Chains A and B, each alone.
Chain A
Amino acid sequence: MKTKVKKIIPQLLTLLVVVLIFGFFTYNAQINMDNRGIEFGFGFLSQESSFDVQFSLIEYDGSHSYARAYLVGLLNTLLVAFIGIIIATILGVIVGIARLSPNYLIERSAAFYVEFFRNIPLLLQIFFWYFAALRALPLPQDTEPMFGVFFLTIKGLFVPRFIWENLDILFYSILAAVISIAVIRNYARKLQENEGKQLPVFSISIGLFVILPIIAFLIGGVSLSFEVPVLKQIATTSFIYEGGLGLPPELIALTLALALYTATFIAECVRAGIQGISKGQKEAAASIGLTPNQVLKLVIMPQALRIIIPPTTNQYLNLTKNSSLAAAIAYPDLVLVFAGTALMQTGRAIEIVSITMLTYLSISLTISLFMNWYNKKIAIKEK
């Protein structure tokens, strides 16, 4: 009896404190909102937003609703996160491996890169790229094209736009390639398990992946042409590129800073993962007659990936959250469009900040749930 009371009292007390704090906050919020004559609710989301966004992936202008503005911001955030994650992963893996190189100079350069970029605040790096480095680029009319079609100017990077015909057929052919590769891999594994024969799965996969889309191009009627950006004069001294795809300098600066910064952390994850495999594993694998390629593919990488992937996913999450720094250089991401402009216009602080936070929270929780599932799946099954 006594122990039961002892167990319940602290819990009740904590609960009471938490409830009291929340109650106090809601009570005050109620009074404050009454005083200002605002009512809590999400009806404003369907109202006309009447502000413009510079850069949007979907069709948007002032006549659309606040909900649509939210979507624009969210898509822009995801775009930065997506590009940043790809660049950061490639760079991080290269640098991580370089840090384990037997070549002293390469190892030192990689270490210098890591120590340099991870010890400078990300915001400072974003400012540096945006205000200092990219401002040194030439004006559109003075730009020398790179490879004839890319134009890197102070107003952004202009690249050719792809114009596809019958794009869906290409997609189907790629889908067909992926499915047939999966089937062949399965068959090859069974063949090896049952009869000990090995098929050259890798070269077959590559072949399929190349040949099927080529067939689609040749007989499926898929075609690809480019729309190269052209310089156009809009005033006596003002030029701009038209046609093609324009990436605003904000996007470039943000992606660059995020990728360079996060890559240092990914590099450390990769290094820790590869170093975490004991030498004995490699020697044992070699001594049962596996080729060096097989050692890497079947013994080292599966174990290293088990160590590498969880912290790397964490870094992806950090990158996504850090992309909110976009607000500092006016890249229209979720925070700037929604928690900035929309909040200023409607004055609905509680609703808008809550929605913004919940959005980030749900992205994070989804990824961490997935990670927990993945960790359980790849964990070493111990008795």
Chain B
Amino acid sequence: MNKLNFLKPNKENLSTYLYTGSFLFLIAVIDVFLGAFFEVNITFFLPGFIGFILPLILGIAGLRLIRIEYSGIPKLDLLNKNINTNNFNAILTLLIIFIIIKSIPPILSWFFIDANIAGDSKEACTGSGACWTYIKIWLRRFIYGMYPNELQWRINISFVLLIALAFVGYFATEKLKKFLTLYYVVIYPVIAFILIYYLISGGAFGLEWVETGAWGGLSLTFIVSFFCLIFCFPLGMFLALGRRSGFPTIRYISVGFIEFWRGVPLITVLFMSSVMFPMFLPEDFFMDKLVRVIIAISLFEAAYVAEVIRGGLQALPRGQYDAAKSLGMGYWKMHIFVILPQALKLVIPGIANTFLALVKDTPLIFVVGLLEIVGMLNLAKTNPKWLGFAMEGYVFAAIIFWIICYAMSRYSYNLELKYKTDR
């Protein structure tokens, strides 16, 4: 029989090491698992500190024993390679496993087991977990803001129409494809504006007028990000071209504009739009709060878009410019047909990141008194009937924002793969 050396596991006694190691590791995991889920302490006979650290010691010993190089068992080799390369890695692995096991029960109980969703008042929330009743009751407010309940179908319809119109590109025939850019850059925003102006705002065709102060919640988040997104992109493109222009005046103006907006925080820009901008307009001229905010955010984000697009323009080899010029193309022709399509393709990830930042910046409009979803949450939180549910509200909003932003980043990643051209 071969000698067993527990400090140096080897292949000869593979099964011995494997069984001992797995056994120790399993005991460690079971100890933590029972402690976390059933509050059973199987090491009660040990003094507190040793009982606390025992699973870690057992686990390290177990992982040490099963760390056998080229054992010939594919699964074991894979396991060792991925989570068990050395002692330090083994400790980290164990800590992560234990933290996951420990954190599951409190999370589960807060979200589901001890949570309440029934009822329609604060008294219905008796459990120690989350009070989803609060979200249920306030859901309309979180989505539509102060928009009158019986008119909310107008928001729904205009959003559905806008989404449907955005998908036109998928159904365009070959013949119409060349008009798609025109459609998305000019026609679509106009249609969107008309829809939102007449349907959501009302005031014509027998629709009741709803002032923008009543708009709010998630729908306002969408409206603001949608319009800012549409406006900041062309603006940013012109600024980027301006910054690379051969005319010194245009170049300096663009540089000044871009650096100014990039150097200040958005919150001061919004302050400016709300307290300083009205001073710059004729006295009898009134501009809606929402419009001012959309202009401010668009200008702000346009500067960031411009820098991203400039990166793409700079990355194009000189040959592209020379080739286009040698075909006799003028400035605009060259940029529209040769330069911009290639440059924009290069900067898709950057532009997606800027748009993501835009969506994440929309809650800031609380500065001027517009309440999108985060603002509504803060309002609901101070309602005397519903005090003490800040956590539920923020978790709810965080989940919504996370889904939106994560979906956007995945989409941009796919777009990047799709348009990746080898050069």
Contacts and interface: CB of A to CB of B under 8 A. Distances in A.
Interface in B401-419: 401-402, 405-406, 409
Nearest to A364: B263
A75 B397 CA distance: 32
B248 interface: yes
B271 A106 contact: no
Interface string A33-56: 101000000000000000000000
Contacts of A124: 363, 374, 394, 397-398, 401
A15 B268 contact: no
Contact residues on B (Cβ < 8 Å of other chain), bracket: 35 or more
Given A103-B92, A124-B374, A361-B264, A132 B85 contact: no
Contacts of A356: 268, 271
Interface string A79-113: 00000000000000000000001111110010000
Contacts, number: 156
Interface in B141-191: none
A121 B363 contact: yes
Nearest to B94: A105
B268 A357 contact: yes
Interface residues of A, number: 60
Given A105-B92, A106-B93, A119 B276 contact: no
A372 to B, nearest CB: 12
Nearest to A21: B280
Given A132-B394, A350-B279, A364-B263, A327 B253 contact: no
A350 B249 contact: no
A103 B85 contact: yes
B390 interface: yes
A304 B422 CA distance: 25
B288 interface: no
Contacts of A368: 259
Interface in A1-37: 7, 10-12, 14-15, 18, 24-25, 28-29, 31-33, 35
Contact of A119 (B266, B275, B377, B402): B402
A131 B381 contact: yes
Interface string A45-80: 000000000000000000000000000000000000
Given A106-B96, A325-B364, A335 B268 contact: yes
A11 B279 contact: no
Nearest to B281: A28
Contacts of A360: 263-265, 268
Contacts of B275: 343, 349, 353
Given A119-B360, A119-B405, A357-B264, 12 more contacts: A10-B247, A18-B253, A124-B394, A128-B391, A131-B381, A136-B391, A335-B267, A349-B279, A356-B268, A360-B264, A364-B264, A365-B263
